[in-house]
Structure 1
Amino acid sequence: MQAWVIGNWKQNPATNHDVNTLVDALLKATSKNNAAASEAAITPACQLMVAPSCIHLANVSDRLQGSSLLCAAQDISAHSHSTGAYTGDCSAQQVVDAGASWTLLGHSERRQYHQESNDTLVQKLDNALAQGLGVVLCVGETQVQYDDKQTLEVLGEQLSVIKALLAQSSNQEPEFAQMLAPHLIVAYEPVWAIGTGKVPTVAEVSATHDYIKQTVASFAAPLTNVSVLYGGSVNADNADDFAASPMIDGALVGGAALKADSFLAIAAAFTRAKA
């Protein structure tokens, strides 16, 4: 199975200059004309993708045209997949027009700071698919939930948005699940590990990913081979350990994605393991 390494830039970098500097470094390192190009850039074993902030999406997407990197939005509007009177929102149609082919949805920071509910996420999923966007659905438990051994219960509840999407009257045809399969990735990011330096063991993550895969597969047979990525303080030093697990299909990378060297080192680890 192809690995995915996705850089979530969050509200970074601050300026167009810094964005272009990062893009320049990524393009130089992954260019097929570069004799020292990263191994991650020249093999189909690992697909690279970056998710810049909305204000930089069009520029980054335009600059990545013709490269091996894809571009994703960090979020889309729940209210409309096209246009409307929703000040501050960007629709699925608008981010596609800006060059995104995927979008992150359900990130813990969106759940925490914007109180996103399952109903909201079902609508966002539906809007993304209406415009042909792939979805990276983020799930994960808090420190309290982890300490109380509620991880699987929490993840099951968060993953239920996929089941709800499939249950909608317009989506009940078998062809819909078949269409959804290549457009869905799940990213497991324990909230307590994001940017904290705290990292669960590979065995813990592998067991959790196994649960996620089985749960998603139970919703519809075409979803049996859904890719499940790990995120949460992934860096160049621990990437090889995570990549070695057959249950971990890639990484959703935060801080380490803001420097080309560390981002590509993580990608190289998954390339070596999955090639």
Structure 2
Amino acid sequence: MKDILKRAGMVDYKPVITPVSSAKITDDVAVPSADPTQYRSLAGALQYLTVASLDLSYDVNLFCQHMHAATTTDWASLKRVLPYVKGTLNLGLRISRSTSMDIHAYSASDWAGDPNDCKSTSGFVVFLGSNLISWVCRKQRTVARSSTEAEYKGLDDVSAEVTWLVSLLHEIVISLASPPRLCCDNLGATYLCANPVFHACTKHIEIEYHFVHDEVAKKELEVQFIPTKDQLVDIFTKSLSSLRFNSLRDKLNVFASQPCA
């Protein structure tokens, strides 16, 4: 993190408490960046940083979408995130002993959130007991025709990840007491996972996205609705207030490191 700040010439900048770059980046003002190589270098470095700093995932996802033709707006947005990096040098993902071995996950999508191509951004987090073990923020490959479709596609992604994790646990002889639980704040997507009648209205959705429905039918997964206020994945899909951002970051077990005794 210190090396990234040094390369950007921002070691002495005043730190901020949230990444403030989360305004939508558009292609309306296409003024090429004066140094696109530096933009790509820093955006790539931040991408590696998200392996541990999951709170940067949404912003870095936006930056990496513009690597091929970075503009001055992109560069300004990237530089607005670096002071947040400066202020979070001591933050990390906390892993602790858990009494539970249940898998539960949260999935969310920002329908048509990209103003340039109207594609949605999806994200998910997966917990093993009380520990966060997997997370993703990515733009969907196709345009969703409704918020339900966008959320359904996001559920398909997390169901594939959870299925792989269950298989991994079985290989090391760890059995789950109950099926993994997927939490979604969209009622339409929740119903679509369980009720095949709805498929008559969703024939346009690619076949691959109905994987989650098959897993629910086999009782390998459970999908349940949660209120939006309990949705943890909003930190991966949209701009948030500082209060909401910091609250979700804490719930995802990102805390300041404790000094050794």
Give the structure-1-normalised TM-score.
Answer: 0.28
Decide which structure has greater helix share.
1
Decide which structure has the larger Cα Rg and report it: 2
